[in-house]
Amino acid sequence: MTDCLFCRILKGEIPASIIYEDDHVVAFNDINPQAPLHALVVPRRHIASLNDLTPEDDALVGEMIRRAAALAKERGYADRGFRTVFNTNAEAGQTVFHIHLHVLGGRRFTWPPG
Ligand code: 5GP
Ligand code: ZN
């Protein structure tokens, strides 16, 4: 997807602060962080939203979630707690249509979310 912001970041066309990468997933710091740790875990393959997932993506989504937990642990937030979020479509506030798992840590979060 040439017009997808995150595909462009993954191709290196737009700079990002990359904190992890492997063959399947990349993680980079959010440009507008909402907590001391606010990273986005993104699959290399373009998938627009959770509505587009198929059973073939199950392992990939598992890798994304485990990577988010590993990043939180690296920063010392595993025991304190951290938040993971997938926003899907308009009412949830999805603005980039390439799935990404937000991982936030380092402060107390409220529930229910805003
Ligand atoms: P969404 O609202 O779709 O769940 O999350 C999109 C996230 O991408 C937002 O938290 C936003 O700050 C972040 N974002 C938007 N543009 C860029 C960018 O160019 N670089 C980085 N690193 N993050 C971005
Ligand atoms: Zn994309």
- pLDDT tens readout for residues 85-100: 999 999 999 999 999 9
- Is 100 among the residues known to form the active site? yes
**pLDDT single digits (tens) 20-74:** 999 999 999 999 999 999 999 999 999 999 999 999 999 999 999 999 999 999 9
**Ligand 1 binding site (Cβ under 6 Å of any ligand atom):** 5, 14, 16, 28, 30-32, 40, 87, 93-96
Read off φ and ψ for residue 40, nearest 5 degrees.
-120, 125
Of ligand 1's atoms, which has the minimum distance to the CA of residue 17?
22
> How many A from CA of 42 to the centre of ligand 2?
9
The answer to whether the CB of 41 falls within 8 A of the CB of 67 is yes
SS3 for 77? coil
pLDDT of residue 68: 98
Strand-pair category, 37-43 with 82-85: unpaired
Q: Pick the residue whose CA is nearest to atom 19 on ligand 1.
A: 31
Alpha-carbon distance 9 to 96, whole Å? 12
33 dihedral zone (left: phi>0; alpha: psi -120 to 50; beta): beta
Which residue from 8, 28, 34, 40 has its CB within 8 A of the most atoms of ligand 1, so it is best to mutate? 40
